[in-house]
Amino acid sequence: MTSRREFISTATLAAAGVALAPLAACSQERPPATPAASAAPPKPFSGTLITRTIPSSGEKIPVIGMGTSGSFEVGADAGERGPLRDVLQAFVAAGGSLIDTAPTYSTAEDVLGDLIAQTNTRGKLFLATKLSGVTGRDEGLKQFNDSLRRLRTDKVELLQVHNLRDTTTQIALARELKQQGKTKYTGLTHYREDGQAQLADEMRKHKPDFIQINYSPVSRGAEQTIFPLAQELGCAVMINRAFEDGRLITQVRDKPLPPWAKDVGADSWAQLFLKFVLSHPAVTVVIPATSKVKHQVDNLRAGTGALLDAKQRQALIAALA
Ligand SMILES: NC(=O)c1ccc[n+]([C@@H]2O[C@H](COP(=O)([O-])OP(=O)(O)OC[C@H]3O[C@@H](n4cnc5c(N)ncnc54)[C@H](OP(=O)(O)O)[C@@H]3O)[C@@H](O)[C@H]2O)c1
């Protein structure tokens, strides 16, 4: 029998327009009633997410991932966790897989681990966590083992050195764990333009499988060195801060969408920002963070259909100047 909480979650997903066929098939309940006409539901997610290849293995992953900084940093309260469970279920239902977290995002690993266990979705996910703020091999190893416990898993897909701290020791540990099968890939991350010169040096030195960096229509520094270097070295590229931590969304709140948005199948600014990021050929995956299922569906829709051509990229940059 479906629990009340599961039913509420399912109803919320349906209200957000997420395709629910597999969930409904498992449920003993009737499908939830159509929401009132006044609360117009957003367009449902449909289609197939574009995938891109991880150069070091040839494995393909969907281009829309998700972050957990801020959004998943909540307590044990069911009222806070319910919407996040919906966010996760919408993501998996659409075919999303890569989720980025870190042991230093307060409760995010615990919340994510609990929700993955509750939704039984571990097998569909590509989990990326980090060695974060630690010094020395022992501290790093202890933190990684804690991450596995908190995420309720025995391995992750990607282990990244966070913000280039103690990089030589921590990337060596990540490599050691890769050899043991505890992570499939290694990575290095940063999130600001002023970290990119050092990131480039460390990329040349350590040749990780992945790098993670900031990129948006108003922060294009990665185009200069990081993207060409990643292409040359064969690193997959994960993009954080595509919305500048939400500031870009606020900036365009009262602006109409450009008329050409419909040519790329976009009906929100968020989709245009994500399509901008994905239209750079060096980019493998983008990880917008959200606590709301309707935003999750919006973000996922950016990973289908056309991306931006050179003229549309310039028009978007100009619209934000
Ligand atoms: N050094 C590092 O390694 C590093 C640094 C920074 C970030 N990261 C990773 O990158 C992820 C993303 O970066 P970020 O969290 O800084 O910010 P972001 O993805 O640029 O922006 C998140 C903000 O955008 C809002 N949002 C999301 N989707 C939306 C939509 N469709 N429409 C309107 N608003 C929307 C969210 O609010 P709602 O909750 O209301 O949707 C939230 O306030 C992080 O969660 C983390 O996993 C890594």
Q: Is the pLDDT of residue 310 over 50?
A: yes
Q: Look up residue 123 and give its DSSP letter.
A: G
Tell me the mean pLDDT in the region 254-268.
96
Rounded Cα distance between 317 and 252, Å, is: 12
- What distance in Å separates the CA atoms of residue 264 and residue 311, rounded to the nearest whole number? 12
Spatial distance between the Cα atoms of 22 and 93, rounded to a whole number of angstroms:
8
Among 157, 97, 151, smallest CA distance to 125 is for 97
Minimum-distance ligand 1 atom for the alpha carbon of 102: 47
Distance 66 CA to ligand 1 centre (A): 8
- Reported as a pLDDT band with limits 50, 70 and 90, residue 300 is very high
The answer to whether 35 touches 255, Cβ cutoff 8 Å, is no
pLDDT confidence tier of residue 38, bands split at 50, 70 and 90: very low
Provide the CB-side half-sphere exposure for 221 (13 A, CA).
14
Residue range 148-159: mean pLDDT, rounded: 98
Q: Which residues line ligand 1 (CB under 6 A)?
A: 67-71, 100, 162-163, 189-191, 212, 240-246, 249, 270, 287-292, 295, 298-299
296 alpha carbon – ligand 1 mean position (Å): 11
Q: What is the mean pLDDT of residues 15-28?
A: 38
Nearest CA to ligand 1 atom 5: 191
Round the average pLDDT of the chain to a whole number and report it: 90
Q: What number does the ligand 1 atom closest to the CA of 270 have? A: 31
More confident residue, 24 or 259: 259
Q: Going by CA atoms, what residue is nearest to atom 27 of ligand 1?
A: 290
Say if CB 87 and CB 292 are below 8 A apart.
yes
Distance 312 CA to ligand 1 centre (A): 23
DSSP codes of every residue in 6-34? HHHHHHHHHHTT---HHHHHH-SSPPPPP
pLDDT score for 42? 58
Residue 251 predicted with pLDDT over 80? yes
Substitution site in 295, 296, 298 for ligand 1 pocket (most atoms within 8 Å of beta carbon): 295
Tell me if 213 sits within 8 A of 190, measured CB to CB.
Answer: yes
pLDDT at 230 over 50: yes
Higher pLDDT, 26 or 290: 290
The CA 294 to ligand 1 mean position distance, Å, reads 14
Atom of ligand 1 nearest to the CA of 244: 20
Helix crossing, 137-151 with 108-119: angle to 10°?
A: 40
**Which residues, listed in sequence order, are joined to residue 159 by a DSSP beta bridge?**
129, 186
pLDDT of residue 46: 87
Q: Which atom of ligand 1 is nearest to the CA of 216?
A: 20
The pick from 107, 292, 298 for probing ligand 1's pocket by mutation, whose C-beta has the most ligand atoms within 8 angstroms, reads 292
- Residue 2 has a pLDDT of 37
Structure token digits, residue 18: 């997420």
Name the percent of the chain lying above pLDDT 70: 87
What residue's CA is closest to ligand 1, atom 31? 295
- Of the candidates 99, 238, 103, 240, the one whose C-alpha atom is nearest the C-alpha of residue 165 is 103
Up-side HSE of residue 256: CA atoms within 13 Å toward CB?
Answer: 4
**8: confidence class by pLDDT, cuts 50, 70, 90:** very low
Q: Is the pLDDT of residue 3 over 60?
A: no
Q: Give the chain's domains with CATH numbers.
A: 62-242+282-305 (3.20.20.100)
Tell me what pLDDT residue 20 has: 38
Q: How far is the CA of 234 from the centre of ligand 1 (A)?
A: 26
Tens of pLDDT, residue by residue over 97-144, are 999 999 999 999 999 999 999 999 999 999 999 999 999 999 999 999
